[in-house]
Structure 1
Amino acid sequence: MSEDTARGRGHNFNRRDLLRLSALAGAGAIFAPVLSACSVDSGTGSGSGSGSGGASPKVIGNGLTEKKQLTPFQFGGAAGEVPAGVPKRIAWANTSDAEFFLQITRSIETAAKARGLEFVTAIANDDSAKNVEQIETFLQRGIGALCIQPLDANAQAPLMKRAIEAGAAVLSLVTPPSTSQAVADQYKVGNAQGMAAAKYITEKMGGNANVVYFNTDTIEVLKARHQGALDGIKTAGAGAKIVSDIQPAAITQDGGFKAMNTILQQHPDVNVIVGGDTYCLGALSALQAAGKARPDMYLSGIDGDEQALAEIRKGGAYKASFAFAYPLMGYAWGQFAADWLEGKPIPQVMQFNAIELNSAETIDKYQADMKAVDETWKNSATYFTMLGSIRYQDREQFINYAA
């Protein structure tokens, strides 16, 4: 391994890219905000201040504060107590109108409509104070479920707990406290990417490769992804040499472009590049500008970036991207909100499975599945591993740690 190491300070985080890189990373990440599909004023329901629209809050303590081994979630579990006085209303505390979140918005609304729930949402535009104010409005009106992503985890947490106490399901992307938390096993994600690269090196390069890995170690939880990728690459044997392991100065394509230009000065024979799609797309541009891009190279990213998928379709150097089913997550949130309001169990953790998109066929299937989430939901195990179980009557068992 070379002397190149990740630099821990002074990085410029592009909003759109940070979303996707850290959406699964951990509490406290800065997120960007989604178009308001419904006004926060729409619908009916009086505000009691409890967040339930009339139900009496329950003292629920601190929930589960230490990580525990969760058993696989089983659909069709026995229903328990049905929430009384809790409105059939699901709220989505958005932070941006980025397409990433628009997809989630549409999916939540689709599921809510199918299950007879009112759907309300609001946009914070990256303003933490506005985000808190909007969530307060939801709680005053009364909600049966709150979908939320991190913007200011410390400010959001008390409101999330209030919602749970009042009887609502809290469905979160990464951050606690929540009744159901969407996360990813970052080591597993990175290892899948590294193993795929090792397979190509072994089968197509005779076991010999000069590898660049772009890490994002300034996001603490993504250090596990980093290690998983390196462990996977190492399975190709000693001939797979990691000549540079570095974090570019900005999580942007330009950051990847500049970092790759510097690397090429010392290692002009690089032929494998692994990291996030944003970095790797920038690196591909650098290779092309230097006249070094070849179809027998191997580049792979993470996130399922549309530009990366377009490159994979060309059949050139960009071979794969590992994507996450965010639209399906939104649809699941809507379904679980309805189940919760019927007293049925929902999973405590929804663990994303990274899907390898390495051909036009795999891309076509993934994109079709994300456009038809109501049908894809029937085979959700492809995209998620669901763990643990919690019902309205068991809500004191909410997760109060980053799963």
Structure 2
Amino acid sequence: MKPKLRMKEREASMNVSRRTVLGAIGLGMALPSRSWAQEAPRGITAPRVFGSFDRNAARCAAPPGLRKILVFAQDNNREFVQGAARGMTLAAQQRGLAFEIALADNNPATMVEHVQRAISDRTGALITAPIDVATLAPVVRRFIAQGGYVGSIVPPPATTILNAPQLATGKALGDAAAAYIKTKLGGEARVVLLTHDTNQFLAQRFVAIRASLKAVPGVRIIADISPRTVDKAGGEATMRTILLAHSRIDVVLGADTVVLGALAALREARLARDEQFIGGIDGEPEALAEMRKGGPYKASISLASPIFGYALAQHAADWLEGKSVPQGLDILPTALTRESLLGFEADLADPAAVYQDPSRRDAYLRSYGNICYDSRSEFVDFGWSSEMK
């Protein structure tokens, strides 16, 4: 059963036109008689280190007057977030939640409209993969103030922030690339970094990658750039531009989705070689398929999106039942190679079994802090990471 895509179907019925909404947002004007125009209170804004999550914490009140619906405000259709949506779908079905996907197609204004509609519908739970934090954050705070659960994939604000330890994630990929350069490329390589440096919450992974590469004297970084969009099209377009100046590239590193686009551009230009090291982050299915074939795609640092999607949806259901949920959720990086794929793919195929088995779950997820409806004012409103000291 596919999740309903009701958000897009209902946009035409909004009482305030899209032009009025977007114009008001862009100019900082007040929206006419809409609850989302009111300034919502902030949560925890000063960085804080959370202790371990207490799974036996006392129950609190269930949010009153909210509908048992989980909406996923999805940024685009890259495989990483599709995997998260698969996990959410399964958990929602098991917990009796209706599930809807609100696809923004990389348009920040569309995502804002989707969350505004969720507020009007008194939706009970929201999971976001934000495109533009500045425009989305005010309406997310309104959703939280209404009593709903919010899980966010990396940026605040949210009831539960899902993040990877970014330095550890980047180091895993950087170290794998550095080792390959030393052992297979004679210690010399021309490297392209396709970064997320425009996203302050992901930039640390590339700090770690650069540090790993700096330890190899023969490395030359010929491009260090953030693609315009975090998808295959963005990676492909960026690599085509790079190839205008550089015909030899030995290593390409970044998120799987943009690196896959870069590989497509290399193949189009007939500059892909089996001895190259193409490596990504996220463990996307297409990246894993490339690794199985052999060839230039050598490694992916998995963040197991079906497993964390399943966990976030479980927390959403717990929240609506008056249970305590984590404030921070680590998705732990797993370095994948061609030889280690089988067991990993079995776990992705059955995220429910992983989540229910503490030893298997702890290999992928780590939970911090406690929050429930009664303490909802303590939502996370800063860029949380477990690597904070």
Name the TM-score class by shorter chain. 0.7 to 0.9
Counterparts in 2 of 1:319-330, with a 5 A limit?
319-330=298-309
- Are the counterparts in 1 of residues 259 and 278 from structure 2 also a CA contact under 8 Å? no
Please name the residue that 2:328 is paired with: 349
**1:34-63 deviation per Cα after TM superposition (whole angstroms, max 9, x unaligned):** x8526469xxxxxxxxxxxxxxxxx99522
Q: In structure 1, the residue corresponding to 2:335 is in which secondary structure?
A: strand
Match of 1:231 among 207, 211, 236: 211
Match of 1:167 among 129, 147, 159: 147
**Structure 2: how far apart are the matches of 1:311 and 1:341?**
41
Q: Give the drift of 1:389.
A: 1.9
Matched, 1:78 2:45: no
Q: Give the drift of 1:371.
A: 2.3
TM-score, with length taken from structure 2: 0.75
**Structure 1: how far apart are the matches of 2:169 and 2:163?**
11
Please name the residue that 1:37 is paired with: 4
Match of 2:242 among 259, 267, 274: 259
RMSD: 3.4
Please name the residue that 1:157 is paired with: 137
Please name the residue that 1:246 is paired with: 224
**Structure 2: how far apart are the matches of 1:253 and 1:247?**
13
**Structure 2: how far apart are the matches of 1:127 and 1:170?**
20
Q: Give the drift of 1:374.
A: 1.1
Please name the residue that 2:371 is paired with: 390
Amino acid at match of 1:311: E
Matched, 1:199 2:179: yes
Match of 1:363 among 341, 346, 349: 341
Please name the residue that 1:373 is paired with: 351
Match of 1:91 among 70, 76, 79: 70
Matched, 1:176 2:156: yes
Please name the residue that 2:35 is paired with: none
**Structure 2: how far apart are the matches of 1:248 and 1:102?**
22
Q: Give the drift of 1:281.
A: 5.6
- Are the counterparts in 2 of residues 281 and 308 from structure 1 also a CA contact under 8 Å? no
The gaps in structure 2 that reach 5 residues or longer are 9-38, 229-233, 385-389
Q: Give the drift of 1:195.
A: 1.0
**1:89-121 deviation per Cα after TM superposition (whole angstroms, max 9, x unaligned):** 133143467263444333223212212333344
**1:258-308 deviation per Cα after TM superposition (whole angstroms, max 9, x unaligned):** 4246323xxx5x54443344346635763795567244x433222334443
- Are the counterparts in 2 of residues 339 and 345 from structure 1 also a CA contact under 8 Å? yes
The gaps in structure 1 that reach 5 residues or longer are 1-34, 42-58
* Shift in CA distance, 369/37, structure 1 to aligned 2, threshold 3 Å: farther
**Structure 2: how far apart are the matches of 1:63 and 1:220?**
21
Give the structure with the larger helix fraction: 2
Match of 2:168 among 171, 174, 188: 188
Q: After alignment, is 171-180 or 270-279 more displaced?
A: 270-279
Q: Give the drift of 1:364.
A: 3.2
Identical pairs, percent: 28
Matched, 1:142 2:122: yes
* Shift in CA distance, 135/288, structure 1 to aligned 2, threshold 3 Å: closer
Please name the residue that 1:274 is paired with: 253
**Structure 2: how far apart are the matches of 1:148 and 1:217?**
18
**Structure 1: how far apart are the matches of 2:110 and 2:263?**
38
**Structure 2: how far apart are the matches of 1:183 and 1:172?**
9
